[in-house]
Amino acid sequence: MEYIVRTENLSKHFGQEKAVSGLEMKIPKGEIYGFLGPNGAGKTTTIRMLLGLMKPTSGRIEIFQNDLKKERLNILKRVGSLVESPSYYPHLTAKENLEAMRKIVGMPKQRINEVLEIVRLTAAGDKKVKGFSLGMKQRLGIAASLLNNPELLILDEPTNGLDPSGIIEIRNLIKSLPSECGMTVLISSHLLSEIDQMATTVGIVTKGKMIFQDSIEAMRMFAQQSVLLKVSESDKAWRALLGRGMKAGLDNGIISLPQQSDENVAEAVRGLVEDGFSVYRVEEEKRSLEDIFLQMTREEQAG
Amino acid sequence: MMGKLLSAEFMKIKRKGIWFLTVLGPIGVVAMQMVNYGVRKEYLFRQNDDRWGYYLDNIHSFTPLAIVLGIVILTSFMSSIENETNAWKQLMALPVSKMGVYLSKFTVLSVLLLISSVLLLLFTLAFGISLDLGGEIPYAGLLKYSFYPFFAALPVLALQLWAAAVSVNQGVPITLGILGVILTYAGYALPDWLIWKWPLLMNDWEEPLINVLLGGGAGLILYAAGMIDFVRRDVK
């Protein structure tokens, strides 16, 4: 598979603190890669290293199959980015802000109007950015990141400060980029629902370590329901089920049957009744991606 | 790449009051003498037979202070463009080298100060002529007093730019700047090795050119050191 971004054993330490350690990130071409993790997990530090804004303590970064250390300028020509809070020059208008960057990336002037149109800021193009709302500044940042028509777009929390309709707009924009412009997108967020609606591949990071990296479908597999049984003498009943060769868990006196077909559940219940246990409740436990995310990040903290 | 960076930098200093300050500096220096000569022209004419030379000395008594103060204010304005919303990260994520960015900032500041120097020359000449000082106009002296202070002040510029570019807290370069202005003000009483004294164009050998050469040399060294440190650091 062709990887647009690949990191090997990427680490960054600030003194004693290990912000990122041994990160192996793989982003295949044409994917929307959701980079997920709680606040302070090392997402922004990783992104800053991908853009050459920070030097890794150790490890290697390859973008477009080139070493970032050696080919930084050539790589950055093909990358667009928005890091953390939007940066802008408040005393200049939106168009002048983009013009200052356009001069450096060397695109035709027309491109400024195009990107303003994409983020729906055309009407405010001649206003000073000083008076923009946070959402408008964020849009300007996204416009700036699209200026050089990049092959890899890196967006750090791009929907921060946007209103619901703005979020939907930006989400649709991001979703359309891979198919329409052939872009690969890396998008970070601490909100799973956000990533869930856009990403095709997910990387979950916590405490500077990558704890999950696969397609969003693979992640959804974790979300399959399990059936919970509340019975009399749960301990004995659990053993009885195990004795019948069924997969079952016991937690706080409640038996759980993970990922079972209807027949298996029926069989388990029938078995329990035949063995003389009283079945009080049979209920389905639905786990959202949110639960899985929390569980994954919590496990990492415990371990 | 340098051309692109410079045209972007000149675009960013719009509406910052930077051009205004560039013009205000030399006007201020000459205006001091307008007051001086306006109040006691006859007295000043009697002080020295070489009226042009005496006039230039008077002008030069404020030039070093103006140039050091100008450097402090301009560098802090210049770095505020990026510091204000932490646009360093946005700028450096573009395909530009850090060295290029640093050099473009330094170049813009040098150009602004040179423009100030040219204006100082023109204003000094114009007011001098209007004073009817008599005798030949000492063009050599005029050039010296207009441009030597700039070159002698290059180390201060390099130092202030570095402090402003790497400090997260802008109180650091401002403090350093205020200290520098005080040192320049008190320069007469200070040893020759202090860079803040150099724009006064005074030294033990009474040869202003030494200050120019020293300024260029030390300026280059301080500039290189500052740039290397800037490149080495992670972007704020």
Q: Which two tokens stand for residue B131?
A: 């004073």
pLDDT higher at A228 or A95: A95
A64 close to A75: Cβ distance less than 8 angstroms: yes
Predicted confidence at residue A300, as pLDDT, reads 66
Per DSSP, the residues of A223-236 read: T--EEEEEESSHHH
pLDDT (tens digit per residue) in B75-125? 999 989 999 899 999 999 999 999 999 999 999 999 999 999 999 999 999
Question: Does A159 share its domain with A209?
Answer: yes
Predicted confidence at residue A301, as pLDDT, reads 63
Which position has the token pair 């199959």? A65
pLDDT band with cut points at 50, 70 and 90 for residue A248: confident
Across the interface, whether the CB atoms of B85 and A76 are under 8 A apart is answered: no
Across the interface, whether the CB atoms of A54 and B8 are under 8 A apart is answered: no
Predicted confidence at residue B97, as pLDDT, reads 94
Q: Which of B31, B37, B39, B35 is nearest to B54 (CA)?
A: B37
pLDDT band with cut points at 50, 70 and 90 for residue A191: confident
Across the interface, whether the CB atoms of B81 and A89 are under 8 A apart is answered: yes
Question: Does A172 share its domain with A280?
Answer: no
pLDDT (tens digit per residue) in A5-16? 999 999 999 999
- Average pLDDT over every residue of A222-248: 83
Predicted confidence at residue A302, as pLDDT, reads 60
Of all residues in chain A, the percent with pLDDT exceeding 90 is 54
Identify the helix (H) or strand (E) that includes residue A35. Answer: strand A32-36
Instruction: Please tell me which residue of chain B has the smallest CA distance to A153.
Output: B93
pLDDT higher at B54 or A220: B54
* For residue A278, pLDDT beyond 60: yes
Instruction: Please tell me which residue of chain A has the smallest CA distance to B236.
Output: A53
What average pLDDT is seen over chain B? 94
* For residue A141, pLDDT beyond 80: yes
Question: Does A231 share its domain with A216?
Answer: no
Q: Is residue A48 part of a domain?
A: yes
Residue A89 has its nearest CB partner, among B5, B87, B93, at B87
> Chains A and B: how many Cβ contacts under 8 Å?
81
pLDDT (tens digit per residue) in B150-195? 999 999 999 999 999 999 888 999 999 999 999 999 998 999 899 9
Instruction: Please tell me which residue of chain A has the smallest CA distance to B101.
Output: A104
* For residue A27, pLDDT beyond 90: yes
Q: Is residue A123 part of a domain?
A: no
3-state secondary structure of B197: helix
Across the interface, whether the CB atoms of B90 and A90 are under 8 A apart is answered: no
Best residue in B2, B77, B94, B103 to probe A by mutation, most A CBs within 10 Å? B94
- Average pLDDT over every residue of A62-78: 95
* For residue A224, pLDDT beyond 70: no
> Which residues in chain B are contacts of A91 at CB distance < 8 A?
14-16
- Average pLDDT over every residue of B4-13: 94
Domain CATH for A171 = 3.40.50.300
Tally Cβ neighbours within 10 Å of residue B139: 10
Across the interface, whether the CB atoms of B8 and A103 are under 8 A apart is answered: yes
Question: Does A234 share its domain with A212?
Answer: no
Q: Which amino acid is at B29?
A: V
pLDDT band with cut points at 50, 70 and 90 for residue A223: low
Instruction: Please tell me which residue of chain B has the smallest CA distance to A104.
Output: B4
Across the interface, whether the CB atoms of A52 and B7 are under 8 A apart is answered: no
Across the interface, whether the CB atoms of B93 and A76 are under 8 A apart is answered: yes
* For residue A222, pLDDT beyond 80: no
A119 close to A111: Cβ distance less than 8 angstroms: no
Structural domain ending residue among the three candidates A199, A221, A243? A221
* For residue A221, pLDDT beyond 90: no
- Average pLDDT over every residue of A248-259: 82
Best residue in A69, A79, A85, A89 to probe B by mutation, most B CBs within 10 Å? A89
Interface of B with A (CB under 8 A): 4-5, 7-8, 11-12, 14-16, 81, 84-90, 92-97, 234-235
* For residue A291, pLDDT beyond 90: no
* For residue A288, pLDDT beyond 80: no
How many domains does one find in chain A? 2
Q: Name the residue range of residue A281's domain.
A: 226-286
Question: Does A175 share its domain with A265?
Answer: no
Q: Which of A100, A84, A299 is nearest to A212 (CA)?
A: A299
Q: Which two tokens stand for residue A99?
A: 């013009």
Interface ipTM: 0.88
Q: Is residue A103 part of a domain?
A: no
> Which residues in chain B are contacts of A105 at CB distance < 8 A?
94-95
Question: Does A38 share its domain with A156?
Answer: yes
Q: Which two tokens stand for residue B13?
A: 């200093």
Structural domain ending residue among the three candidates A221, A236, A267? A221
Predicted confidence at residue A241, as pLDDT, reads 84
* Residue B1 to chain A, least CA–CA distance (Å): 7
Instruction: Please tell me which residue of chain A has the smallest CA distance to B17.
Output: A91
Domain CATH for A233 = 3.30.70
Best residue in B6, B234, B236 to probe A by mutation, most A CBs within 10 Å? B234
Q: Is residue A143 part of a domain?
A: no
- Average pLDDT over every residue of A65-94: 94
For B235, phi then psi, to 5°, come to -65, 135
> Which residues in chain A are contacts of B88 at CB distance < 8 A?
87
Q: Is residue A293 part of a domain?
A: no
Predicted confidence at residue A100, as pLDDT, reads 95
Residue A53 has its nearest CB partner, among B5, B16, B235, at B235
Across the interface, whether the CB atoms of B93 and A101 are under 8 A apart is answered: no
